[in-house]
Amino acid sequence: MTDEFAAVFDWNDPALMTVFDEAPLWSAIFGQVLLEHVPLAPGLTVLDLACGAGFPLLDLAQRLGPDCRACGLDTWLNGLWRARFKQVALGIKQVALIGGDGAAMPFAAGSFDLIVSNLGINNFADAHSVLRECARVLRPGGRLALTTNLRGHMSEFYTVYADVLQEAGRADLLPALEAHIAGRTTVAAACALLEEAGLRVTDVYEQTFSLRYVDGSALLRHSFIRMAFLEGWREFLPPGEAVAILRRLEAALNRLAAREGELRLTVPLAYLESVKG
Ligand SMILES: C[S@@+](CC[C@H](N)C(=O)[O-])C[C@H]1O[C@@H](n2cnc3c(N)ncnc32)[C@H](O)[C@@H]1O
């Protein structure tokens, strides 16, 4: 059976990197919220943890001005290569890019006034260790400002997915789907992680936005969905049945879109700011 839902993108493909800036329209929404709330002050030393291809690092560094010192850290070296390309092209001098793991940062204690992280916490394999490292490398009184999507993300999609598994006679896969859904954090859980790491939460801002598609076929073939989500949606399906189940899912999403006029997926997000006591 042909697998039209196969992941065909390699995050380290040089050709993909040249067009990558079309992809993070997703992270732009979270980054706008972060940039709207993050505290600004002259002369800050700031770390963008999990800066990816340089967002919001390069924008924030420019908003803070030439007297700030900004550093981007990420494990994704090709992302940093792309960030460096943009940094040079844009002539932004006050930025350093460093490859490294947030769970073992190559910085001395108390190095930063501010850490930002846009969509980092929901991607860290060991968020607890990363947040403890944040507390270590922040100076006393320093702040961590982060954004994340929340449980409830794309609930319309997951409701259809659960129905499809039932109808396909694979209710036994529902616990795996539930576990996948529960993998997203809540505001309470994220606050607890921050407090456990020694960071006191001072500001929580929540909002939702919608991702809109003409139907399920458009959703499941969208390049960013295939890069960032599709693998997670299929990883608990038995390999021999995955394509058939995804085709059923596509048809069910198309029926929903036909009834509603479009496929609209709700994404709840949070901005959390905390301070090192
Ligand atoms: C969704 S992307 C967000 C990138 C960027 N901040 C943006 O908003 O476009 C998540 C990033 O987290 C990075 N990442 C995941 N685990 C990491 C870790 N332990 N240490 C540093 N970066 C990590 C990934 O390499 C990826 O660039």
Domain membership flag for residue 2: no
* pLDDT greater than 90 at residue 6: no
Query: How far, in Å, from the CA of 121 to the mean position of ligand 1?
Result: 8
Q: Is 1 part of any domain?
A: no
| Mutation choice for ligand 1 from 35, 76, 267, CB with most ligand atoms inside 8 A | 76
Domain boundaries, position 215: 14-276
Number of structural domains (the chain) is 1
Confidence grade of residue 65 (pLDDT, cut at 50, 70, 90): very high
| Helix 187-196 vs helix 127-137: crossing angle, to nearest 10 | 50
Contact 130, 102 (CB under 8 A): yes
- pTM for the full predicted model: 0.94
258 within a domain of the structure (yes/no): yes
pLDDT at 100: 98
**Which residue owns the Cα nearest ligand 1 atom 26?**
52
pLDDT class of 117 with cuts at 50, 70, 90: very high
Asked whether the predicted pLDDT for residue 7 surpasses 90, the reply is no
Residue matched to tokens 């795996």: 176
Q: 91: CA distance to ligand 1 center in Å? A: 24
CATH number, residue 202 = 3.40.50.150
pLDDT of residue 157: 98
> Which DSSP state fits 257?
H
Residue 118 Cβ < 6 Å to ligand 1: yes
Burial 129-149 (b: 16+ CB within 10 A, else e): ebbbbbbbbbeeebbbbbbbb
Provide the β-strand partners of residue 148: 270
**Spatial separation of the C-alpha atoms in residues 62 and 36, rounded to whole Å:** 14
Q: Which two tokens mark 35?
A: 């940039």
**Model pLDDT, residue 16:** 84
Residue nearest to atom 11 of ligand 1 (CA): 50
User: 119: Cβ below 6 Å to ligand 1?
Assistant: yes
Instruction: Tell me, yes or no, whether 4 lies in a domain.
Output: no
Query: Could you tell me if the CB of 124 is within 6 A of ligand 1?
Result: yes
Is 38 a domain residue?
A: yes
pLDDT at residue 23 in the model: 63
User: What pLDDT score does 22 carry?
Assistant: 61
Segment 119-168, tens digit of pLDDT: 999 999 999 999 999 999 999 999 999 999 999 999 999 999 999 999 99
Span 227-245, average pLDDT = 96
State which amino acid sits at residue 126: D
